[in-house]
Amino acid sequence: MARLRRSRIYLPGNRPRMIQKGPLLGADAVILDLEDSVSPEEKDAARFLVTHAIKALNFGETEVMVRINPLSACGLEDLAAVLPAGPDAIVVPKSENRQGVQIVEKAIIQSNLSKRVAILPLIESAKGILNAYEIACASPLVEAITFGGEDFTQDIGATRTREGREIFWGRSMLVIAAKAAGVQALDTVFSDFNDEEGLRNDTLAIKQMGFDGRAAIHPSQIAIIHEVFTPTEAEIQHAVNVIRAAEIARGKGSGVAVVKGKMIDKPIIQRAEKIIRIAERLDLPIPEPEA
């Protein structure tokens, strides 16, 4: 099963105090950012700081991602600096086609690391969304494709709203492309970090759409995102009941099971198995099936 990526928080790559808070925030992943949060004249400094931080700090279970600059800017220099430190994943901004992903893949392979480094293309333009499936399939190292709502909105000439109607189609396309390619779909940030209700509703909506997680721009957002993406006790109980009913049906040579008056078929069983896998990953209690 792929890593759990309910939340990933952006941390400016040139700010030591914020970087070293990373392991303590409880997010599933930190994104040490070399791109938008670093001014052009500080790119070299951030590169050294992030490289040393990855080598020296103990991030524990937290996945360490690095967002490099676009390959058309100094992305390759970023890769050359940070890859030897062994990050867990590289976030590739402004991804628009398979070639960009493959350049990053080549750099990872050539760095000869003993660990796997995942590629997470960040899709944030109209062209990128239209090529989302191609991007998701570009390398076996792609484990998720991620959506950048702010840049996308600007690219299509729309205005960003709380409701997010302007990004609905882009989000849908990204989820469908990700799932067709067998990778995770990860959503954009919710920019207003004072609006907890807005974040919760938006996150419930994207979970419903099929997203596996979303980005955070403020530590206070992590708990809300986790709350939405963590299975509830009732969901886990139902999943256990579904799997048990399916086992019983299989034992009887039947392909059809029923739980609480509803027919259980393959997609429902698969969804239940996914919930149990997430619950196990999070060490949540798994109850006995109900009679």
Partner 1 sequence: MNTKVKDNSMALQTVKILREAKAGLDERGDVFVSISPSEENSGVQIDLESTLMSLFGDQIRASVLDVIEGYGLKDLKLAIRDQGALDYAIRARVQTAIERAVKEGE
The contact mask relative to partner 1 for 62-101 (x = CB under 8 A, - = no) is ----------------------x-----------------
With CB under 8 A as the contact rule, the residue among 5, 10, 11, 14 that binds partner 1 is 14
The answer to whether 221 touches 190, Cβ cutoff 8 Å, is: yes
3 state DSSP class of 176: helix
Q: Is 44 in the site for partner 1 (CB under 8 A)?
A: yes
With CB under 8 A as the contact rule, the residue among 1, 56, 263, 291 that binds partner 1 is 56
Residue 216 CB, nearest approach to partner 1 (Å): 21
Q: Is 55 in the site for partner 1 (CB under 8 A)?
A: yes
Q: Is 53 in the site for partner 1 (CB under 8 A)?
A: yes
Q: Is 115 in the site for partner 1 (CB under 8 A)?
A: no
Q: Is 48 in the site for partner 1 (CB under 8 A)?
A: yes
d(CA 286, CA 73): 48
Q: Cα dist. 250→158, 246, 253, 265 in Å?
A: 51, 6, 5, 11
Q: Is 110 in the site for partner 1 (CB under 8 A)?
A: no
Nearer to partner 1 (CB atom), residue 75 or residue 149 = 75
Q: Is 16 in the site for partner 1 (CB under 8 A)?
A: yes
What are the E-state strand segments in 114-218? Answer: 118-123, 144-147, 184-187, 213-216
Dihedral angle sign, alpha carbons of residues 48, 54, 55, 57: positive
Among 3, 2, 12, 5, residue whose Cα is nearest residue 211: 5
Q: Is 20 in the site for partner 1 (CB under 8 A)?
A: yes
With CB under 8 A as the contact rule, the residue among 9, 28, 37, 51 that binds partner 1 is 51
Nearer to partner 1 (CB atom), residue 17 or residue 165 = 17
Question: How many CB atoms are located within 10 Å of the residue 63 CB?
Answer: 19
Question: How many CB atoms are located within 10 Å of the residue 252 CB?
Answer: 10
- As beta bridge partners, residue 32 has 11, 66
Q: Is 52 in the site for partner 1 (CB under 8 A)?
A: yes
Residues that bind partner 1 (CB under 8 A): 14-17, 20, 44-45, 48-49, 51-53, 55-57, 84
